[in-house]
């Protein structure tokens, strides 16, 4: 399985014959090195409706005739945009042809901000989620945007997480100290920090975070946009 980080919280996963992308924020992302038009995927998974996660979902899904997987409200709205969507919600799971998806809680905001001239509107797009992926014998957890919450312990209770993508940016999500606890609570074997340094408000030292992870016996990986790892 090949996993490529595309910047911010965007991850591309190639598993067997399937290609999945999570939170495809590429346009307007200063860290992104790939354009939406270059993305070739079968599925798009979206954690929540903020612009830096929903991103280029509609463009990518239409270009690839890909299925979008998201919470019910967000999936419904995407369907209204002409996108094929599979609706789920927190606590639910579903077996797709590539593997199983389970949506987990995430403590954060939601909604798409629209500013068109004098029109200013926030469209409610359902509760934010994390994503628990079971691909073959591997488990991947993408936390989305979230605060630290104690029920993260339940995520790693049944079996350890082989790879966790955890936000460390602080201000909008948990910061490095809380992410260290989250890594322990989800029983992660490896952690990739995400959602940092894209904007001035979320500047963090990912290498320092990884050093602290390794003191706890957890492997940390700092990935720059375009970097890939094999799981």
Residues 83-138 have pLDDT tens digits of 999 999 999 999 999 999 999 999 999 999 988 888 899 999 999 999 999 999 99
DSSP state of 188: B
Looking at residue 206, its pLDDT comes to 98
Q: Is residue 228 part of a domain?
A: no
**58 vs 75: CA distance, rounded Å:** 11
Q: Give every residue of the chain whose pLDDT is below 50, as ranges.
A: none
Q: Is residue 222 part of a domain?
A: no
Q: Is residue 225 part of a domain?
A: no
Looking at residue 59, its pLDDT comes to 98
- The tokens describing 125, both together, are 């797009």
Q: Is residue 227 part of a domain?
A: no
DSSP E strands: which ranges in 46-128? 67-71, 85-88, 93-95, 100-105, 112-116, 119-123
Enclosing domain of residue 94? 2-217
Q: Is residue 224 part of a domain?
A: no
Q: Is residue 231 part of a domain?
A: no
Give the neighbor-by-neighbor strand order of the sheet with 67-71: 85-88, 67-71, 43-45, 18-22, 10-15, 2-7, 228-230
CATH of residue 85's domain is 3.60.15.10
Q: Is residue 230 part of a domain?
A: no
**86 vs 108: CA distance, rounded Å:** 22
Q: Is residue 199 part of a domain?
A: yes
- The tokens describing 107, both together, are 């403590």
Looking at residue 117, its pLDDT comes to 86
Looking at residue 80, its pLDDT comes to 97
Whole-structure pTM value: 0.97
DSSP state of 151: T
Number of domains in the chain: 1
């Amino acid at each position: 399985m090949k996993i490529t980080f595309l910047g911010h919280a965007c991850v591309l996963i190639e598993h067997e014959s399937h290609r999945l992308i999570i939170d495809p924020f590429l346009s307007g992302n200063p860290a992104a090195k790939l354009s939406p038009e270059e993305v070739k995927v079968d599925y798009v998974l979206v954690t929540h409706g903020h612009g830096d996660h929903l991103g280029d979902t509609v463009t990518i899904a239409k270009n690839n005739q890909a299925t979008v997987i998201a919470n019910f409200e967000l999936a419904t709205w995407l369907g209204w945009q002409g996108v094929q969507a599979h609706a789920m919600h927190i606590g639910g799971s579903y077996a797709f042809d590539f593997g199983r998806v389970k949506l987990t809680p995430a403590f954060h905001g939601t909604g798409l901000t629209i500013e068109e001239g004098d029109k200013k509107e926030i469209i409610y797009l359902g509760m934010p989620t994390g994503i628990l992926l079971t691909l073959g014998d591997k488990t991947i957890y993408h936390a989305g945007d979230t605060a630290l919450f104690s029920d993260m312990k339940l995520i790693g209770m049944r079996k350890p997480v082989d790879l966790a993508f955890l936000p460390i940016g602080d201000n909008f999500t948990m910061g490095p100290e809380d992410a260290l606890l989250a890594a322990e609570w989800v029983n992660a074997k490896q952690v990739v920090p995400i959602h940092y340094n894209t904007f001035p408000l979320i500047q963090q030292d990912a290498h320092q975070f990884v050093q602290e992870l390794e003191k706890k016996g957890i492997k940390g990986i700092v990935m720059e946009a375009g970097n890939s790892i094999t799981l």
